[in-house]
Every structure is written in C-alpha cells, then in structure tokens.
C-alpha cells in the first residue's frame, strides 16, 4: 500500500505495524494545509465477523471518547474501499514506551508515579463510559513531546452494554457457531479472567500494573517469576533500585491474580497513590477537563445567543432575559447582572418600515457603526436605516434561504449566502450586485469580510473559502473542520481568522493559509464568539469558555446559572449588538460594552 492515495486524500507513507486482523500505516492528509500526518488502520479482507465488529468498536470508541479526552486519539475518518475497511485517526507525535524500553531505558520511582497519575484518569474516564480497553501495554502508551501519556489502539476494546461483545468472545475463528473462547488481548498483560472472556474494569488495572512493572524492571511480564503456591507475580527481585514500600504495595494490589483482591476502580488506585506518595491530586495537570457534549441547536435557538454581545474576557456571568409581556427595554434594564463592569446603551428605538417578525429571521447583521440593520427572511434580504427607521433596500437575488449575512468594515458592501450554494456581494447604497460566487459546493453557513475589504471569507460545508473581491477569484481553501462551521471571527489586525465549528475552533493565518492552532474539542459547538487581545471567547448553550489565543489553553469557564429562558421571538443578536422588538412593532438596537478600569 505504500504510495497509495486512499480516496484521493490519504497518502500512505510507511508501515507502522500489523496485528491479527489489521495493518497500520503512517499517512499524510493531502486535503489539509501542510499535509499533516495521520494514522491509517486497514482491516484485512477476512470472513471472520468478530474482526469486523472489533474494528467497528474501535471506530466508535475513538469517535465518542476522542472528542472528550485529549489523551485519546481523535477519529478523523472511517470508510470502506472495495472489500476493505479503513480507519483514520489522529497521529500522536511522541515516543512509544515499548520502543523506549527496547533502548535499554528503565523507569525510576518518580517516572512510575507520574505514569500512574497520567493514565489512571484516562481509565477512570473510559470506564465511566462502560468501555474496557483490554490491551494496555507499553506499546499502546505514547509519551507526547509535552510529557503527557496518550492511550492508543482501541482495537480490543469492549463495551460492557454490548451483547455482541459477549458473543464474539465465544466464537471460533473457523466456526462462529462453536463455543470456543476467542482470547482478546496480549498474553502476559491480561489477567486470567480476561483469558476466559470475562474482562472487567479491574482487568485494565491489572494490565496497567504489569506494564509499570515492566517499565521499572525491563522484564517482559511472561518472563516474571510467579509464586508456586499463590500464583502471584514476584517482581521486586528484578529491581536495580528498591522502591518505596507504599508504591510496592499499590503495584502488588494492581496485579493480584484474584480480581476480588485487586483494585476495582481507577479512583481507588489514585486515592491510595495520593495518600501514600503525597502526590498532587490529578486536576488539570493529570486529568483532562471533560465538559459534557453539547446538543446541536440552531444559531439563534437558545437564550445564550445573547452572549454574542460579550465585549471582554472580564465579563462575569451569563446574561439571559425572560419576556412574557410589557416592554423589552424595561425587562432588559431590570435583568442585567449587577456589575459595574458592563454597560448597556440603547442606540436606536423606533418604528421601522415593513418590519419582519424576528422569529422568522434566518440571519441578521448590524453595520459596524450601528446605523444599518440587515435581516434575511426566506430568499430576501432587508436593509433598514436605523437612524430613521426607513427600509432602504430589499434584495431578492437568492433562490433559497439566506443563511449568512455580513457587512463590510466600512458598511459600503453587504454579503449574503445560503442554501443555494451562492454568495452574493451587493453595494449597500445602490443595491447593485458587485460579485457573485456560484457553485460553492455546499450551503453557506457563515460569512465575513476581512478588515482590508479585499477578501471575503465564507464557511461552505466543512471548509472555508477565501475570495478576492477585486478579481472574483477563489484565493484559498482552508480544510480542517469535521463538521459545520457556525461562526467566523477575525483578529483586530486582520491577519488571523478564527472559525468556530461544530467540532472545535481553529485559528488560521489569512496571509499564508497556514493552520495556526487547533483548539481543544470543548471549543466545538460554539454558536458565536469574540476575539480579545489575549483571548478567544466561545459561547455555548451552557455558557462561555475563554481560551488563551497563543496556547489554546482553556483559561476560564462561565456557566449559565439562569433559570429563565429567553423568548427568542423578540430578541436577536449580531456581533456586539442586541436587537429587540416589542408588541408595538418598535425595533430597538442595544450596544453592550465593557467599562474599562
């Protein structure tokens, strides 16, 4: 397969290894900027159904767990070509601990403690998802360049709530109707119950304990002596340097032959380890912060959409408004958080010509100076002058719903794109079409003008298209997302583009097209956001997350604690503006700003 280009995208570079059912290759993703490395796993064309089920389980595990834990590889693709199935996953740059052992290296006591503190929270997480790894060993532990451990190869994993997993362990490779036990795991690393097809959470703990002992002694588990009467592993004699007796006790309990005498949960090991070694409690250093997956919701279908108005990282709390009657202005004024750091300014309060119901609007934008309002309904785009409430333009040039709207920085142009896979640029004053970019390849979900006004960027499916307004030519295509892109942001200097997708947030260089930074998975599902000097703020259905722009580290989480839902029939958001309408058809435009100290 070396040199083969799978699906026209993944270029196979070299073989990394092979197992009983699959082959593993290093590849490059030719679709993404700079063609990053990835790992391709190929399932051999075998009639054995168990192999296919295990392959599917691995893909499911990576898809569900990799999104929530940065110490588990991310699933990138899963497809079939002919009679073969392929799985593409994130490439983890680092050192395989088995290769490290082969170089004659050995763990110190400190190394062993650090490994346990790093891996046990991963096991605690996957076990909480009712998954058993069943193949923990040094070759499946990668030490990244930052020192953190990544657990790989979920090919032997088993969901406890999956009845087929029980069946597969009782099938014979040659005759699926027999009751022969199919042993899944690696000899030496798996306990007796796993060899009998009865693995549980403690089986993973046994494998981890045996792996740590091998890293300390350099001796393969199958070569370690066992007590003739008890069957327990006698490994201390292989140590070159004695260990603290408390750590020895913990390791011995991890590898007890009888699982009734063994640790049952990873949390139990962590508790003993912290108490015995005075190790730091696994917080952000050891355990990945896990935020529950968020459900997909329309961009304006939640109250926290108001947070697109946030103006600073110093904002405290989440704003929500509940309106069941009366005037919106009084409701907003009375329900703002009691903080001397925020300011609400009513920019416009007037009756507009030919108003539309805000709950029927699919996209909305306010010009940078706050004087123009654009709202799309079905195939039409309406523009009002907010100084006088006058409808100045009605643009009817799209064939389907306009889902993305944006003003140019000088408010002279407006862009609109939608389900018809067409992006149009109009002159605001004349209503004349200046540019039409057709056949985009997918519906447009977000659009943005670069501050130079020479570029317009559109989110088309999972990609970003950058168009030159002067020539009408497609200048760049950014590919890196694995889901719909909901919102686009640009830095103050106009050089960095931030795309907020269902999968995660990504930073790009508008100059070179280079992918600058991929933010953690918790940045995904953001409805909107804001770029500050030092931070990227993403807004989600459960609150706000604040990220360091340079490192991508999550700095702070602001949770939504309000119990009052927002009546979205009367409120819409655009950048730093809030647009409301009352029962008397008055439109109000509010600007929320930060009072700098």
Q: Which residues contact 187 (CB under 8 A, 6 or more apart)?
A: 222
What is the spatial distance between Cα 244 and Cα 223, in angstroms, rounded to a whole number? 23
Residue 359 DSSP SS3 = helix
Contact at 8 Å (CB) between 389 and 353?
Answer: yes
Sign of the dihedral through C-alpha 420, 426, 432, 438: negative
Is-contact 470 456, C-beta < 8 A?
no
Token digits of residue 89: 């996953």
Calpha distance 281→430 (Å, rounded): 64
Place of tokens 């981890």: 208
Contacting residues for 80 by C-beta, under 8 A, at least 6 apart: 86
SS3 455: strand
Which CB contacts under 8 angstroms, 24+ apart, belong to 456-459?
Answer: 456/415, 456/423, 456/425, 457/488, 457/497, 457/510, 458/404, 458/415, 458/417, 458/423, 459/404, 459/484, 459/485, 459/486, 459/488, 459/499
Other CB atoms closer than 10 Å to residue 249's CB: what's the count?
13
Whether 300 and 578 have beta carbons less than 8 Å apart is answered as no
503 is catalytic: no
Contact call for residues 22 and 55 (beta carbons, < 8 A): yes
d(CA 62, CA 488): 28
Cα-based distances in Å from 521 to 125, 151, 500, 554? 16, 17, 11, 11
The one catalytic residue among 118, 135, 153, 420: 135
CB 292 within 8 A of CB 521: no
Q: Which of 397, 406, 427, 566 is nearest to 488 (CA)?
A: 406
Number of other CB atoms surrounding residue 560 within 10 Å: 18
Contact 324, 567 (CB under 8 A): yes
Answer whether 304's CB lies under 8 Å from 564's CB: no
Residues known to be catalytic: 135
């Amino acid at each position: 397969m070396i040199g083969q280009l799978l699906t026209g995208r993944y270029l196979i570079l070299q073989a990394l290894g092979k197992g009983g059912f699959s082959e593993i290759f290093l590849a490059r993703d030719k679709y993404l900027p700079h063609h990053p490395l990835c790992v391709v796993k190929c399932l051999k064309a075998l009639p054995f159904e168990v192999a296919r089920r295990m392959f599917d389980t691995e893909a499911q595990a990576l898809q569900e767990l990799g999104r929530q834990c940065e110490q588990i590889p991310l699933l990138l693709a899963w497809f079939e070509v002919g009679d073969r199935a392929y799985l593409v996953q994130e490439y983890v740059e680092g050192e395989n601990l088995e290769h490290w052992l082969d170089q004659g290296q050995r763990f110190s006591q400190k190394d062993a403690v650090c490994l346990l503190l790093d891996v046990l929270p991963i096991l605690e997480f996957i076990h909480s998802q009712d998954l058993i790894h069943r193949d923990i060993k040094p070759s499946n532990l990668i030490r990244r360049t930052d020192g953190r451990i990544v657990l790989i190869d979920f090919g032997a994993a088993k969901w406890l709530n999956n009845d087929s997993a029980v069946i597969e362990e009782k099938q014979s490779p040659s005759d699926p109707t027999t009751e022969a036990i199919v042993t899944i795991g690696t000899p030496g690393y798996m306990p007796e119950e796993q060899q009998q097809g009865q693995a549980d959470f403690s089986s993973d703990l046994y494998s981890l304990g045996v792996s740590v002992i091998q890293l300390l002694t350099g001796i393969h588990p199958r070569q370690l002596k066992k007590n003739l009467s008890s069957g327990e592993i006698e490994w201390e004699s292989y140590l070159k340097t004695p260990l603290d007796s408390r750590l020895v006790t913990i390791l011995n309990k991890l590898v007890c032959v009888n699982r009734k005498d063994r640790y049952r949960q990873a949390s139990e090991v962590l508790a003993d380890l912290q108490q015995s070694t005075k190790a730091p409690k696994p917080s952000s250093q050891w355990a990945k912060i896990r935020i529950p997956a968020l459900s997909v919701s329309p961009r304006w279908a939640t109250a926290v959409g108001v947070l697109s108005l946030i103006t600073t990282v110093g904002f405290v709390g989440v704003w929500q408004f509940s309106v069941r009657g009366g005037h919106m202005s009084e409701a907003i004024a009375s329900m703002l958080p009691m903080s001397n750091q925020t300011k609400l300014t009513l920019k416009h309060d007037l009756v507009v010509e030919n108003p539309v119901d805000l709950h029927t609007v699919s996209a909305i934008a306010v010009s940078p100076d706050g004087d123009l309002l654009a709202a799309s309904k079905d195939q039409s785009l309406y523009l009002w002058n907010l100084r006088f409430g006058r409808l100045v333009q009605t643009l009817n040039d799209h064939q389907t719903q306009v889902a993305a709207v944006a003003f140019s920085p000088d408010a002279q142009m407006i862009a609109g794109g939608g389900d018809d896979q067409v992006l149009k640029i109009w002159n605001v004053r004349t209503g004349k079409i200046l540019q039409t970019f057709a056949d985009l390849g997918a519906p447009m979900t977000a659009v943005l003008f670069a501050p130079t006004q020479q570029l317009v960027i559109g989110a088309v499916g999972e990609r970003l298209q950058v168009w030159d307004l002067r020539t009408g030519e497609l200048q760049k295509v950014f590919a890196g997302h694995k889901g719909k892109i909901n919102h686009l942001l640009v830095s103050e200097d106009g050089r960095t583009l931030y795309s907020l997708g269902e999968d995660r947030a990504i930073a790009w260089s508008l100059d070179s097209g280079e992918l600058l930074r991929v933010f953690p998975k918790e940045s995904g599902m953001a409805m909107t956001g804001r770029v500050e000097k030092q931070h990227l703020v993403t807004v989600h259905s459960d609150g706000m997350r604040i990220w360091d722009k340079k490192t991508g580290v999550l700095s702070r989480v602001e949770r939504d604690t309000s119990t009052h839902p927002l009546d979205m029939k009367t409120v819409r958001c655009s950048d730093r503006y809030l647009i409301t309408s009352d029962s008397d058809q008055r439109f109000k435009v509010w600007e929320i700003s930060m009072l700098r100290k």
